Chain A
Amino acid sequence: DQQVKQNSPSLSVQEGRISILNCDYTNSMFDYFLWYKKYPAEGPTFLISISSIKDKNEDGRFTVFLNKSAKHLSLHIVPSQPGDSAVYFCAAENNFNKFYFGSGTKLNVKP
């Protein structure tokens, strides 16, 4: 049972433009959401998070939006850079440190 879904396996964006990665979840008990970035041959690294009591969190070029009624979150990267090319996973938590991950979106930022 996939409780966190990323329906776009890949995304290609021109350098300098906005990248929007989407994620949907089914469990309304999730109260904490994160985005991780993964390069080949490395473990996932934390990017940005948001609590369910907020609808937006911003950190530099990265902004996460949460729509609880739609059970949807998105990650915006502005402006996109070639170094952002990686696989992005969204994750959700409802029990301490037990995370449910989506299947990932591979972002390619073209120079």
Chain B
Amino acid sequence: DAGVTQSPTHLIKTRGQQVTLRCSPKSGHDTVSWYQQALGQGPQFIFQYYEEEERQRGNFPDRFSGHQFPNYSSELNVNALLLGDSALYLCASSRTPDRDEKLFFGSGTQLSVL
């Protein structure tokens, strides 16, 4: 049973560019959340997708957007990249509405903005 898979594992971009990160949730999971983990910090909630809609959002600008597909996979898009967007981006999946179902994380995409 494949867990949460993310691609790519590493990415280097320059300021002003746009990036798309991809995530496939754990089998049986229908909810995908995205987190940003800056160096030395804990993961910070970006947003969550359920039934192909953004259900919740953290304190991130509109440059951060996402999408969920009918097969529950998800994309995170970041426009007009800033140096401060350099971080590990984690995708986590879960199953709604089972609250006992813990978040399962992927290994992340390490984004470097130069």
Q: Do A and B come from one complex?
A: yes
Which A residues have a C-beta under 8 Å from some C-beta of B? Answer: 4, 6, 9, 32, 34, 36, 41-46, 49, 89, 91, 95-104
Tally the A-B contacts, defined by beta carbons under 8 Å: 60
Q: Are A102 and B4 in contact (CB under 8 A)?
A: no
Q: Which residue of chain A lies nearest to B44 when distances are taken between CB atoms in the complex?
A: A101
Name A45's contact: one of B40, B43, B44, B105 (CB within 8 Å): B105
Q: Taking the nearest CB of chain A, how far is it from the CB of B85, in angstroms? A: 18
Q: Which 8 A-B pairs have the closest CB atoms?
A: A43-B105, A101-B42, A46-B102, A101-B43, A43-B107, A103-B42, A44-B105, A43-B106
Which B residues have a C-beta under 8 Å from some C-beta of A? Answer: 4, 31, 33, 35, 40-45, 48, 56, 58, 90, 92, 94, 96-97, 99, 102-108
Tell me the bound Cα distance from A95 to B33 in angstroms.
13
Q: Which residues of B contact A101 (CB under 8 A)?
A: 35, 42-44
| A46 in contact with B41 given A96-B96, A96-B97 (CB within 8 Å) | no
Name B42's contact: one of A46, A96, A104 (CB within 8 Å): A104
Tell me the bound Cα distance from A80 to B97 in angstroms.
35
Tell me the bound Cα distance from A7 to B74 in angstroms.
34
Q: Which residues of B contact A97 (CB under 8 A)?
A: 31, 33, 48, 56, 94, 96, 99, 103
